[in-house]
C-alpha cells in the first residue's frame, strides 16, 4: 500500500486546510453568539469542514491505489479539492456577513453565491464519478480491497446526489412564488430551526434530508474501514484470513449499507424524524438486519480448498 506521503497532494492540502477551519469554526462557536436558523452561526462551517477533512484523504488514498488513468485521476482529484475550497470560502464568507449560505435567494448577490455553490457541487460530483470509474477499471491484487473502494465510492456518489432533494421548494415556498427569499430546505414536514439532535443538528420532529446525504457520502470511508477491521481481526479468526471470505463479507456490508441509505431516505421523505421511527420503518430496518446477518453467516462458510481464486472471482459481475 502506498505511503500517505504519496497520496494526492492537492486533496491532502485541502484536508489540512479543513482541519484548520474546523478549529477556527469551533472557536467561532464559542466566541460568536450569533444564531442563524436556530443554530450557532459557525455550526455549518464546523460540520462541513469535519466532513470534508475526512472525505478528502479517503479519496486521496483511493487515487493512490488506482492502476488506470492516473493522470485523469490526478486532475479529477484536483478539481474536487478546488470545488470543495470554493464552496467552503462561500460558506465562511456568508457566516462573516451573517447570512445563510444555502437556499438563499434574498438578494441578487446571495442568489449568485448559492448558484456558484450549486455549480461547484455538480463539478465535485462529476469529478468523484470519474474517480469511481477509474477504480472500477483498476486491477488490484486484493479483490476485497478493490470492491470495498469501488462500492464505497459508488454509494458515496449516490449519497452526494441525494443532496439535490434539499433544493426542492416546500409547499409554503411554492405558494410564495417569486417572493420567496428561501427556496429549498433540509427538513420535510417541519420548518427549519426547530428542535434538533445535539452535534448533528438533525431534526427531531420531522424528516431531515441531511441524514441520507451524510450516511451515503461517508460510505467512502466506512466501507474500507470495515475491511480494515476484518484484516485486523484475521489473526484471531482463521476464516478471516481467507481473502474470499473477506470479499463476501465486504459485499454483504455494501448491500446492507446501500439498503440503510435507501431506508433513511424513505424515512426522511415521509417527514419522519430519525429517532422516531414508525412500524414500517422498524420493519424495514429489521429486514435489513436479518438479511445482513444471514448474508454474513453464508459469507463465513468454509471455503473448499479445491476452489481456486478464479472460481470465486466468477461470483462477481465485472
Q: Which of 79, 110, 139 is the last residue of a domain?
A: 139
Q: Which comes out higher in pLDDT, residue 80 or 175?
A: 80
* CATH code of the domain in which 24 resides: 1.20.120
Which residues share a beta bridge with 39? 36
Confidence of residue 1 (pLDDT cuts 50, 70, 90): low
Which position has the grid cell 479519496?
Answer: 59
User: Which pLDDT tens digit goes with each residue over 218-269?
Assistant: 999 999 999 999 999 999 999 999 999 999 999 999 999 999 999 999 999 9
The arithmetic mean of pLDDT across residues 82-105, rounded, is: 96
Confidence of residue 317 (pLDDT cuts 50, 70, 90): very low
Judge if 128 and 181 occupy the same domain. Answer: no
The arithmetic mean of pLDDT across residues 67-84, rounded, is: 94
Judge if 196 and 295 occupy the same domain. Answer: yes
Judge if 84 and 5 occupy the same domain. Answer: yes
User: Which pLDDT tens digit goes with each residue over 15-31?
Assistant: 999 999 999 999 999 99
Judge if 268 and 305 occupy the same domain. Answer: yes
Judge if 17 and 129 occupy the same domain. Answer: yes
Judge if 229 and 314 occupy the same domain. Answer: yes
- CA dist 117 and 272 (Å) reads 28
For the cut 70, the answer to whether the pLDDT of residue 207 exceeds it is: yes
**Residue 3 pLDDT:** 64
Judge if 62 and 156 occupy the same domain. Answer: no
Which position has the grid cell 461470483?
Answer: 315
Judge if 164 and 129 occupy the same domain. Answer: no
The arithmetic mean of pLDDT across residues 302-311, rounded, is: 50
Burial class, 178, CB count within 10 angstroms (exposed 0-12 / middle 13-18 / buried 19+): exposed
Q: Which of 121, 139, 157 is the last residue of a domain?
A: 139
Judge if 265 and 304 occupy the same domain. Answer: yes
* Structural domain harbouring 176: 145-318
CA distances in angstroms from 56 to 61, 96, 129, 148, 252, listed in the order given: 9, 25, 14, 17, 25
Furthest CA-CA distance within the chain: 71
For the cut 60, the answer to whether the pLDDT of residue 159 exceeds it is: yes
Which residues share a beta bridge with 143? none
Over the chain, what is the mean pLDDT? 91
Which residues share a beta bridge with 36? 39
User: Which pLDDT tens digit goes with each residue over 275-287?
Assistant: 999 999 999 999 9
User: Which pLDDT tens digit goes with each residue over 132-154?
Assistant: 999 999 988 889 999 999 999 99
For the cut 90, the answer to whether the pLDDT of residue 305 exceeds it is: no
Q: Where are the beta strands (DSSP E) in 120-252?
A: 187-188, 207-208
Q: Cα-flanking dihedrals φ and ψ of residue 235, to 5°?
A: -60, -25
- CA dist 7 and 238 (Å) reads 32
**Residue 302 pLDDT:** 59
Q: What percent of the chain has pLDDT over 70?
A: 93
Give the helix/strand (H/E) hosting 113: helix 108-137
Judge if 168 and 80 occupy the same domain. Answer: no
| Range from 123-127, 210-214, 305-309 carrying the lowest mean pLDDT | 305-309
Model confidence pTM above 0.85:
yes
Judge if 7 and 109 occupy the same domain. Answer: yes
Q: Which of 90, 121, 139 is the last residue of a domain?
A: 139
The arithmetic mean of pLDDT across residues 96-104, rounded, is: 94
Q: Which comes out higher in pLDDT, residue 73 or 179?
A: 73
**Residue 298 pLDDT:** 94
The most confident of 1-15, 59-73, 137-151, 272-286, by mean pLDDT:
272-286
Confidence of residue 308 (pLDDT cuts 50, 70, 90): very low
Q: How many domains does the chain have?
A: 2
Q: Provide the grid cell at 302.
A: 468454509
Judge if 295 and 312 occupy the same domain. Answer: yes
**Residue 316 pLDDT:** 53
**Residue 304 pLDDT:** 52
Chain centroid to CA 3: 24
Amino acid at each position: 500500500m502506498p505511503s500517505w506521503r504519496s497520496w494526492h497532494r492537492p486533496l491532502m492540502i485541502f484536508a489540512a486546510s479543513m482541519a484548520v477551519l474546523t478549529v477556527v469554526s469551533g472557536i467561532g462557536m464559542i466566541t460568536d453568539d450569533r444564531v442563524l436558523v436556530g443554530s450557532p452561526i459557525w455550526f455549518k462551517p464546523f460540520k462541513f469542514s469535519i466532513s470534508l477533512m475526512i472525505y478528502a484523504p479517503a479519496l486521496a488514498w483511493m487515487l493512490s491505489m488506482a492502476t488506470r488513468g492516473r493522470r485523469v485521476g490526478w486532475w479529477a482529484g484536483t478539481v474536487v479539492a478546488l470545488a470543495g475550497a470554493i464552496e467552503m470560502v462561500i460558506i465562511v464568507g456568508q457566516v462573516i456577513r451573517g447570512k445563510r449560505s444555502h437556499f438563499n435567494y434574498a438578494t441578487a448577490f446571495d442568489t449568485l453565491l448559492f448558484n456558484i455553490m450549486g455549480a461547484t457541487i455538480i463539478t465535485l460530483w462529476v469529478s468523484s464519478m470519474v474517480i469511481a470509474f477509474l477504480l472500477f477499471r483498476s486491477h488490484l491484487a486484493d479483490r476485497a480491497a478493490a470492491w470495498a473502494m469501488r462500492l464505497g465510492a459508488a454509494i458515496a456518489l449516490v449519497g452526494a446526489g441525494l443532496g439535490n432533494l434539499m433544493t426542492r421548494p416546500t409547499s409554503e415556498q411554492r405558494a410564495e412564488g417569486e417572493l420567496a427569499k428561501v427556496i429549498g430546505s433540509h427538513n420535510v414536514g417541519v420548518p427549519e430551526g426547530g428542535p434538533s439532535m445535539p452535534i448533528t443538528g438533525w431534526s427531531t420532529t420531522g424528516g431531515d434530508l441531511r441524514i441520507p446525504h451524510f450516511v451515503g457520502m461517508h460510505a467512502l470511508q466506512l466501507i474500507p474501514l470495515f475491511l480494515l477491521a476484518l484484516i485486523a481481526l484475521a489473526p484471531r479468526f482463521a476464516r478471516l484470513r481467507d481473502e474470499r471470505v473477506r470479499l463476501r463479507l465486504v459485499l454483504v456490508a455494501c448491500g446492507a449499507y446501500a439498503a440503510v441509505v435507501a431506508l433513511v431516505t424513505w424515512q426522511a421523505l415521509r417527514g419522519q424524524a430519525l429517532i422516531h421511527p414508525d412500524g414500517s420503518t422498524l420493519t424495514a430496518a429489521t429486514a435489513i438486519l436479518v438479511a445482513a446477518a444471514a448474508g454474513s453467516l453464508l459469507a463465513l462458510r468454509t471455503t473448499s480448498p479445491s476452489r481456486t481464486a478464479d472460481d470465486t472471482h466468477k461470483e462477481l459481475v465485472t
